[in-house]
Amino acid sequence: MQYDLLKTPIGQLLIAVDVDGLHHIRFDQADRDAVVEPHWQRGGDLLDPVLAQLRAYFDGKLQHFNLPLAASGTPFRKSVWRALTQIAYGETISYGELARRIGNPAASRAVGAANGANPLPIVVPCHRVIGANDKLVGFGGGLPVKQWLLEHERKQRPLWA
């Protein structure tokens, strides 16, 4: 596994990738740094496309990621994560709507748990899911980061979208 640290407007991100694809994007938190696993190696050319696309996203020049994803999870979680990638840039939906989109409208809480377990935030845009009352709820990077990401996307989104 290759990893690197990327400085962004929302703080430092730890990125981990191997030949299968992107495995982790981890936030530094105020009370703890993102964890680097002991067997990981810093740097490597597998990171280049991931770092380039994340930089372009934060520069407002990229709205759709095109990366191989290799997140580990249950089939249910993977179905939720796939559905997250279908939420349009700059838009938000509720947990209930996400549950409906995966064909399980009674699973809002389970969808919320899967959303919270997403190991690839930003690329798999879990920040685009909000509470039914249009309030920001739950985000691994913290609610101020979620708010920043949503505002960033709304500013960059073309008027005709």
Name 30's Cβ contacts closer than 8 Å, sequence gap at least 6: 142
Catalytic residue, chosen from 83, 99, 126, 145, is 126
Answer yes or no: 126 catalytic. yes
Return the active site residues: 126
